[in-house]
Structure formats: C-alpha cells, structure tokens
Amino acid sequence: MPTYVSLLNWTDQGIRTVKETTKRAKAFHNMAEKMKVKVREIHWTMGRYDVVVVMEAPDDEAVSRLMLGLGTSGNVKSETLRAYSAREMARILEGIP
C-alpha cells in the first residue's frame, strides 16, 4: 500500500482546544480505519508543523477522503505528501533514460 505523510498545523480553534489533541488523534485513528487507511504513526512536533502523521492507504482517493474529513473538524490544516520507499524509488529511476 502507498505511504503518505501529512503535515498538520493547528487552526485557532485547534490550539484553543489543544488539551483534546490526543482524544482527537484516537478519533482520527477510528475514522481512518473505517476508510481503510492505516495510521502508522502520529507525532506531535516542535517547529514549523504541529503534528506529523504517517499512514498507508490503498490509493490517493482514500487518503484524500480521510484528510478532507479531518479538515471538516476545523482543528487543523493539512498538507499531505506521497512518500516512496527505496524499492519504489528504484523502480521510478529505472524509467529515466
């Protein structure tokens, strides 16, 4: 399954209710499961982003659906990246002349 990395920042609403963040993470896990997305890791971070999520999804549509659903909560804004393993990258590179 493809891997995705989501970089999250709290909105004003999200930071005001930051004490609920671990409960919201649990709810996110449950929502992801229902959408056939596996959340591998959630990390709260210092610096430019507040939270980093690593997940696996069957396709782009599944992870897009999940992240749009998360966005409707109003607590975070997200940027999601498709990540490639070394094996996947090697296959990609084979096609370069």
CATH no. for residue 78?
A: 3.30.70.920
Name which of 67, 69, 66, 77 is nearest 12 in CA terms: 77
d(CA 72, CA 68): 6
Q: What is the pLDDT of residues 15-63, one digit of tens each?
A: 999 999 999 999 999 999 999 999 999 999 999 999 999 999 999 999 9
| pTM of the entire predicted model | 0.92
The DSSP code for 61 is H
Q: What is the pLDDT of residues 65-86, one digit of tens each?
A: 999 999 999 999 999 999 999 9
Q: Do residues 31 and 70 lie in contact, with contact meaning Cβ atoms separated by under 8 Å? A: yes
Q: How many domains does the chain contain in total? A: 1
Residue 70 belongs to domain spanning? 3-94
